Chain A
Amino acid sequence: KQEVTQIPAALSVPEGENLVLNCSFTDSAIYNLQWFRQDPGKGLTSLLLIQSSQREQTSGRLNASLDKSSGRSTLYIAASQPGDSATYLCAVLMNTGNQFYFGTGTSLTVIP
């Protein structure tokens, strides 16, 4: 069974700092990988989706990379802002189609 792990579980940084969130998965037979953000008591907002054939995707200050063979993805946030404070989740869609596994999440706090 696929296991998706995120490190660190929690991260606190001062405003303006660049940071990296890590996501690792045990089964590389994935179709795509998504990064989400969740604010307290809210649903999930999709940030970036990387197809298994892609190496990275960028949106604004966010850059996500994927190394499928080693089972790793990173989410890079440039020039962090207090509004970036949230829990970040990665999730993988398996090649079989319906199975979608979430990571354990990283709780980010950006200090003004």
Chain B
Amino acid sequence: GAVVSQHPSWVICKSGTSVKIECRSLDFQATTMFWYRQFPKQSLMLMATSNEGSKATYEQGVEKDKFLINHASLTLSTLTVTSAHPEDSSFYICSARQAVLPYEQYFGPGTRLTVT
């Protein structure tokens, strides 16, 4: 199946700094990518939908100025957590949807963010 990569796989940063997470579709083009957040023992919570070449669509309650999303190409989307705080510590997962039928979604391995 198709492969989606994320980098870094884990990151520790100090409170107040910014962290960028990359999501790449390695062998297919993805006009749409998604960013999720997952807390321990909970399901995935959609944060935003990223469309190539346009602004991301954020879910209700997600601060767009805090979680900056850029989808500059058909294979790369980035999530930047700005001025991170300990409560931003979480597991962040991206997914990429095929641009052709059957529009299957593939998920990255996730990024564990710890803010100290």
Chain A positions near chain B (C-beta within 8 angstroms) = 31-32, 34, 36, 41-46, 49, 51, 89, 91, 93, 98, 100, 102-105
Contacts and interface: CB of A to CB of B under 8 A. Distances in A.
B66 to A, nearest CB: 22
Interface on chain B toward A: helix, strand, loop, or mixed SS?
strand
A46 B102 CA distance: 13
A36 B110 CA distance: 14
Interface of B: 1, 4, 6, 32, 34, 43-44, 46, 49, 57, 91, 93, 95, 102-110, 112
Given A32-B102, A98-B32, A100-B105, A105 B43 contact: yes
B93 A46 contact: no
A70 B70 CA distance: 39
Q: Which of A41, A93, A100, A104 has the most CB of B within 10 A?
A: A100
A43 B108 contact: yes
A41 B43 contact: no
A104 B110 contact: no
B27 to A, nearest CB: 14
28 contacts: A31-B103, A32-B103, A34-B104, A34-B105, A41-B112, A42-B110, A43-B4, A43-B6, A43-B93, A43-B107, A43-B108, A43-B109, A43-B110, A44-B44, A44-B93, A44-B95, A44-B107, A46-B1, A49-B104, A89-B43, A89-B44, A93-B105, A98-B57, A100-B46, A100-B105, A102-B43, A102-B46, A103-B43
